Structure 1
Amino acid sequence: MTEIEKMLAGLHYDPSEKTLTTLRTAARDLTEQYNRTSRHQSNERKQLLQQLFGTIGGEIKIEPNFHCDYGKNIHVGTNFYINFGCVILDCAEVRIGDNCFIGPQVGLYTACHPLDPTTRNTGIEFAKPITIGDNCWIGGHATINPGVIIGNNVVVASGAVVTKSFADNVVIGGNPAHIIKHLEIEEA
């Protein structure tokens, strides 16, 4: 297996491998260009995001500064919004549904490091995907950890640290995040 295949499969991989380094450099170049654009350059922003992301399902808006590892492993639906200062470490896939809003300074982290210090010091990493359903709102300074699945219609409170998965129709918050409230969702 290649290092990319290992990375996307959740296996230990070497992030210093040439192809991965090249892909990260390309993503950083695109995000640097994006972060230098103004709100008046919507067409340029759209083109840069189309080059950067794996899949864009429709209209999206991302406020600079935005940072990611690869970009190509990020897949978003339509009507998607990210506020200022978001970081997505997309060593594994990050899939986000339709009508999702991400507050300022949010982090979505798929990257993992071995617990054993000897192994960790070799630079070897592994990654676990993140999935966020439709109609989700993630409050400012929230952290979504590797391997988390968030269902549809979930609200993540500001500052929450999400370390496990949650089903549909809940408000979660705290560190570690827990269910604060179940939501009664009206059918449209």
Structure 2
Amino acid sequence: MSEQAERMHTGELYYPNDEEIMAAQADHLELLCDYNQTRPHEQQRRDELLRSMFAEIGEGCYIEPPFHANWAGAHIHFGDYVYANFNFTCVDDTHIYVGSRTMFGPNVTLTTAGHPIDAELRAQGYQFNMPVHIGENCWFGANVTVLPGVTIGDNVVVGAGSVVTKDLPSNVVAVGTPCRVLREVGEHDREFYYKDRRVQL
């Protein structure tokens, strides 16, 4: 493994256009291309591809094509029954961890890659990567973006269109740009599932 490839997962600056990195990345992206070409009735084929693509993937996970990922999931770790709607995007240059039963609405983006503020360093092509950690049983509305290095607890709801720049604790509803905690999840949410609509199962 090249020195640059080793630095991908350390948070240090590295050069992503290193020949070894680019060759390995292209190999992974071949599988992603295959995944996005599958047809709706080819669920078994999709499951097989995801198991080949991901670092770890649990039972019952479903990702609606098209799915976009820099490394085709090679640095993504999913628990069980994770669901992602159309255009789920993972900038998985380093590791992304997602707990079981978490759901992602359309056009959600999880990013691990950053670029230096200094223009000269950027011009030389350097970047750095910070992992993303997401807990269990979370729900991300459409068009949410999670930035590098963010950790999100369990049972968190992130409102549509939010940009998550900082860590979020467990059991909260959070919204906005930048995303902030709106309130805790509580008894009201057990009684009402939407506005004045009462839970009646």
Once residues 4 and 181 of structure 1 are traced to their aligned partners in structure 2, the CA distance between those partners, rounded to angstroms, is 41
- Return the offset for 1:22: 1.6
- The CA deviation string for residues 49-104 of structure 1, in whole angstroms up to 9 with x for no partner, is 11110001221000011011112110000011100001100111100000010010
- State the partner residue of 2:46: 45
- State the partner residue of 1:130: 132
Q: Give the structure-2-normalised TM-score.
A: 0.89
* 1:33 counterpart SS class: helix
**More deviation, 11-20/72-81:** 11-20
Once residues 6 and 59 of structure 2 are traced to their aligned partners in structure 1, the CA distance between those partners, rounded to angstroms, is 28
Instruction: Tell me which of 137, 160, 163 is aligned to 2:162.
Output: 160
- Identity among equivalent positions (%) equals 37
**More deviation, 11-20/21-30:** 21-30
Once residues 102 and 24 of structure 2 are traced to their aligned partners in structure 1, the CA distance between those partners, rounded to angstroms, is 27
- Return the offset for 1:27: 2.5
* Contact kept? 1:27, 1:68, Cα under 8 Å: no
| Superposition pairs of residues 109-148 of structure 1, within 5 angstroms | 109-148=111-150
- Corresponding letter in the other structure for 1:98: S
Q: Give the structure-1-normalised TM-score.
A: 0.95
- State the partner residue of 1:8: 9
- State the partner residue of 2:153: 151
Aligned residues: 186
* Contact kept? 1:12, 1:125, Cα under 8 Å: yes
Residue 76 (1) aligns with residue 44 (2): no
Unaligned runs of 5+ in 1: none
- Corresponding letter in the other structure for 1:55: E
Once residues 27 and 156 of structure 1 are traced to their aligned partners in structure 2, the CA distance between those partners, rounded to angstroms, is 30
* Contact kept? 1:105, 1:140, Cα under 8 Å: yes
* 1:56 counterpart SS class: coil
- Return the offset for 1:184: 2.3
- State the partner residue of 2:193: none
Structure possessing the higher radius of gyration over alpha carbons: 2
Residue 33 (1) aligns with residue 34 (2): yes
Once residues 67 and 83 of structure 2 are traced to their aligned partners in structure 1, the CA distance between those partners, rounded to angstroms, is 12
- State the partner residue of 1:65: 66
